[in-house]
Amino acid sequence: MRGGLTKRHATPTGAYFLPGPRARCHLEVEGDLRPQPYPTRKSLLCSLMATALLLSGAEALAEGNGVKFGEARVHPYFQLQTRYDSAAVMVSNGNQIIGDLVLHLRPGLKLSLPSPNFAVSLDGGLEYLWYTGVADSGARNASHLEGDANLDIGINRGGQVSLDIGDKISRSERLSNVPSIVVGALSLYNDARLQLNVKPAGGALQIEPNYHLTTEFFTPSGIVSLAGCESGDTCDPRAVGENNYLNHTFSLNGRWKFLPKTAVTFDSAFFMRRYFGSAGTPTNGLKATLGLSGLLTTHFSALLKFGWGHDFSNGSYSSPIAQAEVGYLLSQTGQVRVGYLRSFEPVPSSAWVTYGLDRAYLDVRFLFAGKLTARAQSSLDFLSFNLAEGADGDSRMYFNGDLGLDYELASWISISGGYGFRYNEKGMNLADFNRNEVYLRCQVIY
């Protein structure tokens, strides 16, 4: 989602987290199928041994605060994740999706230069996904390299007028913002951003005009064509390049804090979507909401937003958009959030122009003994795909669930583990299918 209403690759609302382990797993699942054979006992033993070796080898690292260069600090880190995915790859015999044990090897680097006049933060890493081929040796061909980097520069953040410049780039197999593509594609996503922050009258009023230039390019992930798809059809993974797009987003957001912990909010975004291929329809749209956010009591918080979304180019969408959320804060040790979100986005497809999103979500987090975080997240999405002039094209339902634990062994080493589930209601000539994932992750940071 764009325009400040939701965030890409985030929790259902992308909001706050409790203090706790440095490495948290935010599972983003994209579809699954029927139950598949589980990995052999030998393969599971090998993966657990690899994790144990990483834990024991990490003891040789001294605890520290990174490498200091002047006022900047650099923190190298390494993540190892073992994940069993019941919908890891698609094999050559038709529409069959099989499970596999996938190892993630991710070295990365964090840079921090705090300053009220010129602050810089950078977080990036490369990640190799090794498909072990436990259930089918052909799955090994799906092994590939991913990566991401996020640069954030702040100029004069201590003043009444400040400037934020940033860029986020990622290469991933998880296409969380393109529901028209279910499986079989890798995304190269880049979002460059520029935001002016104006805080007159002591900061009670905040005005934030910003601009985002977003591109996304798709390539096949190496799986074969789906059964029933002709070469070049949008359901053919080999044709995903037709969905490449360019997005201009001009936003104006505001916030007036009329009470110490309560504010009136205004969010607006005008987007211009253009496609490099023939799959999508050029779209100009506007989203605007007026809302209220803050603490009702010392423990209860609320967020209410209401507005309108409109497609000016094709008339595919013209409807209210909104967000309502209630949160319960249990001191500094826990929080529960439940909410509803309604919005719309352009969709790269030769059949549809936009899709409307109705989402109900729940996020629960508790911190125990200052080191162990227990978390549970779920969301239920109803997507309605729209044709030009508001005609209904199709509808789908997705359910996401994630249960996990994060534990901080020390300030420089943490482990995470959990279970993720996703239900997909059809897509790309596939029947309804489920995805089950079990994962264990370890992170060492210096």
Q: In a 10 Å sphere around its CB, with 0-12 CB exposed, 13-18 middle and 19+ buried, how is residue 446 labelled?
A: middle
Q: Pairing relation of β-strands 392-410 and 72-90?
A: unpaired
Residues 6+ apart with CB under 8 A from 364: 334, 335, 336, 337, 375, 376, 377
**DSSP-assigned states of every residue in 82-113:** EEEEEEEEE-SSTT-EEEEEEEEEEEEEEEEE
238: helix, coil or strand?
helix
Rg of the chain in Å (alpha carbons): 22
- Give residue 425's pLDDT: 72
Contact 439, 415 (CB under 8 A): no
Contact 157, 121 (CB under 8 A): no
In angstroms, the Cα distances linking 127 to 8, 108, 147, 282, 438 are 19, 9, 5, 34, 18
Beta strands in 177-332 (DSSP E): 185-198, 205-220, 245-259, 262-275, 283-295, 300-311, 318-330
User: Model pTM?
Assistant: 0.79
Residue ranges and CATH numbers for the domains of the chain are 41-445 (2.40.160)
Sign of the alpha-carbon dihedral angle for 104, 410, 125, 362: positive
Neighbours of 97 (CB within 10 A): 21
| Cα gap 27→25, rounded to integer Å | 6
Closest CA to 428 of 223, 135, 136: 223
Rounded mean pLDDT of 274-281? 84
pLDDT bin (cut points 50, 70, 90) of residue 222 is: low
Residue located via tokens 């596999």: 100
As a whole number, the mean pLDDT across the chain is 80
- Give residue 264's pLDDT: 97
| Cα gap 164→195, rounded to integer Å | 5
257 or 39, which is more confident? 257
Closest CA to 354 of 25, 38, 1: 1
Query: Which tokens hold the place of 13?
Result: 């609302």
- Give residue 15's pLDDT: 33
Instruction: Look at residue 402 and tell me whether its pLDDT is greater than 70.
Output: yes
Q: In a 10 Å sphere around its CB, with 0-12 CB exposed, 13-18 middle and 19+ buried, how is residue 68 labelled?
A: exposed
Instruction: Look at residue 96 and tell me whether its pLDDT is greater than 80.
Output: no
- Give residue 163's pLDDT: 98
